[in-house]
């Protein structure tokens, strides 16, 4: 019986050792990833090595059904860091309890951390600043960072719009001049021709991109438009102009942003 018990203990230990590390939910929204990136000075890929629950009395502002953890993470890669990032990072994070009211076991999970300096260490820059790492999420993050170097203007609305007929019956062009935070010119053009699908192009400055795929989804330019444009024209004018604007929104798709 003692031999059997020892064997069971060995098998149990082996099973625990072979169990995959926990996977934290990543952001479902590309737009949320952009929001976090734009307001975060330090972004790292880290591996969680320890998490200790903080007593509720020592966790002011903790929402119902959540636990505050003091987490220790080992640096895997510094993606954005204006200075040196230590090999080990300690920070606080609020996580949801499971159906039995227990705190999740996070040791071994790979995460993307969005951090800001706090005293001699770091804190999450946002309540959603810890997300599960995946190769795809990191690739999108690096694309956003690279796109950010283009300093694309923030879209704040539609300044004016008009529609002009073309030289052929049924041909027309709608132009939408966008308002931006820094005043830089951005305009959208919807071209309609008989027997052809409508085509959307964009002008950043004085140059118009006539390529049908000029606004690629899940890019910073797409985010600026999909999340910055109003859901309707402030002054729709004729119905054809309003319909072309609806085509713009449909072409872009929903913003998908959930973070405030």
Residue pLDDT, tens place only, 80-116: 998 889 999 999 999 988 888 888 888 899 999 999 9
pLDDT of the residue at 208: 52
Nearest by Cα to 236 from 178, 167, 152, 176: 176
- For residues 159 and 92, state if they share a domain: no
Q: Which residues of 2-26 are buried (b: 16+ CB within 10 A; e: fewer)?
A: eeeeeeeeeeeeeeeeeeeeeebeb
- For residues 28 and 86, state if they share a domain: yes
Cα of 191 vs its chain's centroid, Å: 31
- For residues 112 and 165, state if they share a domain: no
pLDDT of the residue at 10: 31
pLDDT of the residue at 7: 36
CB 128 within 8 A of CB 259: yes
pLDDT of the residue at 167: 84
Domain encompassing residue 210: 155-252
Residue 8 is assigned to a structural domain of this protein: no
- For residues 49 and 163, state if they share a domain: no
Q: How many domains does the chain have?
A: 2
pTM of the predicted model over 0.75: yes
Residue 179 is assigned to a structural domain of this protein: yes
113 vs 46: CA distance, rounded Å: 7
- Two tokens, residue 189: 């053009």
pLDDT of the residue at 190: 95
Ranges of the chain with pLDDT below 50: 1-21, 23, 209-213
- For residues 138 and 160, state if they share a domain: no
CB 114 within 8 A of CB 27: no
Helix (H) or strand (E) holding 148: helix 135-148
180 vs 163: CA distance, rounded Å: 21
CA 136 → CA 26, 28, 33, 139, 230, distances in Å? 10, 12, 12, 5, 30
Residue 92 is assigned to a structural domain of this protein: yes
Which of 128, 148, 168 lies at the terminal end of a domain, its last residue? 148
Which of 148, 167, 190 lies at the terminal end of a domain, its last residue? 148
- Two tokens, residue 155: 């879209």
Cα of 60 vs its chain's centroid, Å: 28
- For residues 81 and 185, state if they share a domain: no
pLDDT of the residue at 2: 42
202 vs 246: CA distance, rounded Å: 16
66 vs 153: CA distance, rounded Å: 38
**Beta bridge pairs of residue 70:** 52, 92
207 vs 194: CA distance, rounded Å: 25
Residue 200 is assigned to a structural domain of this protein: yes
- For residues 42 and 108, state if they share a domain: yes
Residue 11 is assigned to a structural domain of this protein: no
- For residues 40 and 140, state if they share a domain: yes
Residue-wise pLDDT for 32-60, tens only, equals: 999 999 999 999 999 999 999 999 999 99
């Amino acid at each position: 019986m003692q031999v059997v018990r020892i064997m069971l203990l060995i098998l149990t230990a082996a099973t625990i050792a072979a169990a995959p590390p926990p996977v934290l939910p990543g952001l479902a929204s590309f737009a949320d990833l952009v929001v976090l990136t734009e307001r975060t000075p330090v972004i790292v890929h880290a591996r969680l090595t320890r998490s200790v629950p903080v007593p509720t009395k020592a966790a002011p502002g903790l929402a119902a059904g959540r636990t505050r953890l003091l987490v220790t993470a080992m640096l895997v890669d510094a993606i954005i860091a204006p200075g040196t990032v230590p090999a080990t990072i300690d920070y606080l994070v609020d996580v949801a309890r499971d159906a039995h009211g227990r705190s999740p076991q996070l040791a071994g999970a790979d995460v993307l951390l969005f951090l800001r300096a706090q005293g001699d260490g770091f804190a999450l820059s946002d309540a959603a600043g810890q997300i599960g790492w995946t190769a795809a999420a990191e690739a999108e993050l690096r694309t956003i960072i690279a796109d950010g170097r283009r300093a694309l203007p923030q879209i704040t609305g539609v300044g004016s719009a008009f529609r002009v007929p073309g030289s052929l019956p049924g041909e027309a062009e709608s132009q939408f001049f966008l308002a931006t935070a820094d005043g830089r010119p951005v305009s959208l053009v919807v071209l309609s021709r008989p027997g052809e699908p409508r085509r959307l192009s964009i002008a950043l400055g004085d140059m118009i991109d006539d390529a049908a795929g000029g606004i690629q989804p899940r890019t910073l330019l797409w985010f600026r438009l999909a999340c910055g444009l109003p859901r309707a024209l402030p002054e729709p004018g004729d119905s054809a102009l309003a319909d072309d604007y609806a085509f713009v929104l449909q072409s872009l798709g929903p913003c998908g942003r959930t973070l405030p």
